[in-house]
Chain A
Amino acid sequence: MRAKPVNQDFLPPSAFAPPPTWSTRIALNFGLDRSSSRLPIASNKTVNSEMFSLVGKHRKGFIIVALLQLVTTLAELVSPRVFGNLLGDLSKDPAQARILFTLAIAASALLIGAFFAYWTRVRASILGEFVLSSLRERFLETVVQLPPNIVERAGSGELLSRTTTDIDHITWAVRDAIPIITICIISIVSILIAIGFTAPIFIAVVLMAMPFVFAITRRYLRRSPQAYRVVASSYALMNSTLVESAESGRTIEALGLGNDRIERSDAALGRWIQWERYTLRLRSQWFPFVEGGYIIPLAVILLVGSHFYLLGQMSIAQITAALLYSEMLVGPLEGMLWWIDELQSGKASLSRLLGVHEVPDREVRDSQPEGSLVEGKDVKYGYKDGRDVLNGLSFLVEPGTRIAIVGPSGAGKSTLGKLLAGIQAPRSGSVTVGGSEIGYLPVEKARKHVALVTQEHHIFSGTLRENIMLANPQATESEIWEALRAVDADIWARELEKGLEAILGTGGMRLLPAQAQQVALARLVLADPHTLILDEATSLMDQRAARHLESSLSAVLANRTVIAIAHRLQTAHDADVIAVMEDGKITEWGSHQELMEAEGSYADLWHSWRDEN
């Protein structure tokens, strides 16, 4: 008899998944959410329809799995039946019982059953893996095509957690849940039919407990997914508290914050435990009833069976077969419930993955830029309603000009840089490059004309060559070296043991921040747009290196428009035009000489900086 006790001492995998959901509604309600989600989350309806369409798309695979499982179950149904018959015969007249015949049938059924079970599972996992891989590939494809302003706004954290944890999370659900649920449903239906063939009355007996089991399961399923989601995110909170402690050890020790960190992590643990207590309660209210619901029909089958046996309307064979069948139901029923539960928590992640597909496309107004004149007309822009960071800027940058933008922090310099690069479009007014509004050009087109390098840099895991060539896959060896030379990186690049083939990034060689900035600039040189925006692009280098780099870069970038945002006045001094920004406005505009003569704030600054007062 396959009396299988609950194996739910295994926790749902969601309990161990790192940070999925800062953004689910429930997390929000419980203050777990700090940064409200800046990326859409697909609705339940979308998720359901997506799952159906997944099944639809792989119809053939599902049908094959279903058919194979049908054969498996049919084979499994044989042996209780023949065993029941044998018991029946033995109880009537032991001498007449055909033991070897029964064994022969049961053995062949066993062989067929085991083989088809093997085959079904192989097909089911091939199918599941296929669905899963296409899901994750499609997700990443969408992610890399997201409009740049969305990427800027969402921050990498949110996207990263969707890319890593949510994908991990659905691995279980999508790969296993859908095929296994299919298998379970087919088994359940076949077993019920087999019971019906044994004696129709027993169907009623077996189904007797069903409405109850289903009601209590539904109740559980309505509450559990959210609970597991919060459990997962509070578990994640514990981990991120520790990450912070580990990374900031120096600051924590210097400030004597050790006890504060311990309190924080205990508090995070407490929160997690509080939620685990809730999930434990949910399970405690579910398992016993479901399990009891499996055993009770056995007793009823015996009572009903004995009644009809005494009336001479039923045989021992039928009763035995019904008992064994009813026990066979436990496995698939439990499996189905378990995997439906699993699917629920997988759905939370799926909704976050699918949400990415719902990001509205960048508003595109395609046109063909002519020339490379950069012009801003009454540009206004703010991140929040009613608070403009840029208060009506107008400017004109002739092709080939080198402009430096200086000004105090918070003056809107970096925002202007984003607008110039077309990452954002102004709230009102216009930023045009060659007459086209850069903020509305298709991304691929816009970056042929304007490129932005900020102080934020990223070295991809891969070779140095790959890291530089991504800007221009057709670049030749000599072009790469030329780009490296232009950013003063050729010296250390030559010293690398493997030169351009040196592996960088995670797991490879770690570049210094200054070197990473050089790589970012080398990419820019290879991309070769006619207008370059450099937002503190050399801020991580030391003074001397930055100065040297800027001069060698400017040789390569002759005839290109360069707009450099800088806090080093040296950069400003070398520029053709200096724009001083204060409070979202351009307050001074002119060459170094002109501004010095105007004796405005730039001149003051220069004097103090040069130490001339």
Chain B
Amino acid sequence: MSSLVPFHRRAPRTPIDHVPFSDPGDPSLSSIPAFLWWMGKNQWWIIISGTFFGVISFVSLAIMPKFLGQAIQAIADKDQTALNRGVTTILLIALFQPMASVLRHRRAFGGWVVAATRLQQIIARKAAALGADLPRLVSTGEVVSVNSNDVERVARTFDMMPRLMGAILSFIFVSVMLIKSASTIGLVVVLGVPLITLGIAPIIKPLQAREAEQRKKLSAASDLAADTVAGLRVLRGIGGEEVFIARFKKASQEVRAAAVRTAKMRSFLDGLQILLPGALILVVIYAGGNLVVDGKMKVGELLTFYGYSAFLVLPMKVMTESAQRLTSSVVSSRRIIHLLSITSINIWGNNQAPKVDGKLFDQKSGIEILPGEFVAIVSDNALLADEICDRLGGYVDAEYVHLDGISLTTFTRESIRRIIYSQEKEPAILSGTIGSVFNVSHSGRLSIDDAIQAASMQDLIDSLDGEGLAAEVVERGRTLSGGQRQRLALARTLYVDSPILILDDPTSAVDAHTESRIAQRMAHLRQGKTTVIFTTSPLILDRASRVILLTNGKVAEQGTHQNLSSNSQEYRELVTRGS
């Protein structure tokens, strides 16, 4: 495999050596042209130099027919010097045209990579800045589709630039040459080629419609396949495979039918693209032939004319394609701008929150937490409990929550995050090693080991084949069981050791043995620090210094677990187990 290793020696310089950027910059989002201009401005050199080589490579191709014609004429005239000159020129073109062409490609490609990189970096930074608000405001699918499809489309505009410029200039060059040597035929060709392109245009729209239809069908079929595979365990366990195969086959055949419909139209277009330029060339031959008969044109020139008119199809094709790319890049720019213009849900102030905890008060529910308390909250409605957990953490409706009488939103977001840590019901485990899960800012009071012990996670560490903290966790912690994920997240949260900690049902997937251990160790670890736990587990409720009972999201009763158990029927129903 060693021959495949591309990095064993220093790679030569490329146009993309300077990316990724240390700072991708701040794009202008006021309008689509401003946005695209900002992008272009930031990579003007690669565009200019790419355009330079693009023009050279196109024009040197465009000029070929001239020398071929001269050479043929030289042969007809038995003029050896002229022939040698022609052949030498062609050989020179053979040498330089590919070089110009590859240099153009390197810059075009570079332009694409640089633009794509910059946009992806900007999007990654936007995602980081939005943080918790991102999943609330935009679906993951949307983010990913912008990050891949739309970024690609916009970036491809820059890839297209050198060829577009080459195409435009070579078109002008050939037009001038044609009109100069035979104005009538020249005009026929110069006007004919764009007319042909326009003539084909009416088919493009319906073709694109059919293609869109095909893509839609295809993505429906692949969604269906993905859905089937995602639920494969269910299917294998309980049956129904035939139904799903039949569904997929139907979808797949619909794709096929749509694809064939598209192909028919595309083939028609292909046929036209052979027929129409061919017809134009016939006109050229007819007119040119007559000029030769009249002695107004030489044989070699006729060949040159033939070559020129055939060549013109190419720049036209590039221009049409560029127009299409530009259109789609405008649509994509709009989507990128939209994503980048999203602002956070809460409007935060500039004050720094106090470094130590204070009294936490939620206007909406009436919950009040004093510094250093270990409070458990029982809610009759699990959904409302999630919402209050978010609110107390300052993620939504943060203005209703007060810290020592001051609304959370008067402080900066960062300073609130430092003092209040609110763990949602299903906290994410990011991919990496188990050890890297603990690679977070923390108070420094506790060691990773302390946290692992408190979350009763030692058995999990031990079961990792001696790899311990170095063992890998795949994305979303899929390799771990629900209970293991929960304990890992809890260990991480305890390790952070935030002054105010809010936990939403942190032991719901943990067995009773373990839960009991966790309850005891966590209470010990959090001694003297503010801790709020949403739970219905008596094992935890019993450890709380105070229990709040919420009905309909409002404080209904408070007290110790013991006295709520004996005094409140509602409370008993919610937490008491056994008959």
Contacts and interface: CB of A to CB of B under 8 A. Distances in A.
B285 A83 contact: yes
Contact of B270 (A118, A159, A168, A247): A118
Contacts of B377: none
Contacts of A309: 75, 78
B230 A567 contact: no
Contact of B226 (A107, A164, A269, A455): A164
Nearest to A541: B382
A309 B71 CA distance: 13
A129 B214 CA distance: 12
A5 interface: yes
Given A18-B148, A458-B234, A242 B127 contact: yes
Given A99-B286, A137-B252, A458-B234, A406 B511 contact: yes
A306 interface: yes
Given A255-B441, A316-B76, A281 B12 contact: yes
Interface string B220-242: 00111111111111111111110
Given A114-B272, A256-B417, 13 more contacts: A3-B307, A106-B285, A114-B271, A121-B270, A242-B147, A244-B428, A252-B430, A254-B422, A277-B17, A288-B98, A295-B98, A302-B87, A611-B538
A145 interface: yes
Contacts of B411: none
**A152, A257, A387, A573, most chain B CB atoms within 10 A:** A257
A251 interface: yes
Contacts of A25: 1
Contacts of A141: 245
Interface stretch (A50-58, A367-375, A433-441, A445-453): A445-453
B113 A447 contact: no
B513 A410 contact: no
A562 interface: no
A542 B238 contact: no
B526 interface: no
Contacts of A258: 128-129, 131
B422 A520 contact: no
A111 B515 CA distance: 82
Contacts of B71: 302, 306
A372 to B, nearest CB: 18
Contact of B285 (A103, A140, A292, A410): A103
Interface residues of A, number: 186
Given A90-B293, A287-B101, A280 B124 contact: no
Nearest to B77: A91
Nearest to A147: B236
Nearest to B88: A299
A526 to B, nearest CB: 9
Given A121-B263, A276-B16, A527-B238, A5 B58 contact: yes
A270 interface: yes
B424 interface: yes
A225 B255 CA distance: 28
B547 to A, nearest CB: 12
Nearest to A34: B472
A539 B222 contact: no
Contacts of B11: 277-278, 281
B107 to A, nearest CB: 10
Interface in A119-151: 119, 121-122, 125-126, 129-130, 132-133, 136-137, 140-141, 143-146, 148, 151
29 contacts: A1-B306, A99-B293, A118-B270, A119-B267, A129-B259, A133-B252, A133-B253, A140-B228, A144-B244, A146-B236, A148-B236, A242-B120, A246-B135, A248-B430, A251-B430, A254-B393, A259-B128, A260-B439, A266-B124, A273-B16, A276-B109, A280-B110, A295-B98, A303-B87, A408-B513, A451-B238, A458-B233, A459-B231, A543-B575
A175 B218 CA distance: 14
B486 to A, nearest CB: 10
B140 interface: yes
Given A117-B270, A163-B229, A539-B509, A295 B97 contact: yes
Contacts of A319: 72, 75
Contacts of B412: none
Contacts of A461: 223-224, 227
A68 B233 CA distance: 48
B530 to A, nearest CB: 16
Interface string A500-528: 00000111000000000000100110010
B232 A288 contact: no
Contacts of A303: 83, 87
Nearest to B383: A512
Interface string A71-99: 00000000100010011001100110101
Contacts of A423: 236-237
Interface stretch (A8-16, A198-206, A343-351, A391-399): A8-16
B232 A156 contact: yes
B332 interface: no
Query: Which applies to chain B's interface (DSSP): helix, strand, loop or mixed?
Result: helix
Nearest to A256: B441
A262 B5 CA distance: 28
A207 B130 CA distance: 61
A114 B93 CA distance: 32
A91 to B, nearest CB: 4
Contacts of A241: 124
A272 B234 CA distance: 37
B290 interface: yes
B350 interface: no
Given A102-B285, A254-B393, A289-B98, A246 B143 contact: yes
B430 A244 contact: yes
Contacts of A211: none
A227 interface: yes
A163 B244 CA distance: 14
A262 B279 CA distance: 57
Interface stretch (B40-48, B474-482, B551-559): B474-482
Contacts of A6: 101, 105
Contacts of B52: none
B348 interface: no
A479 interface: no
Contacts of B98: 287-292, 295
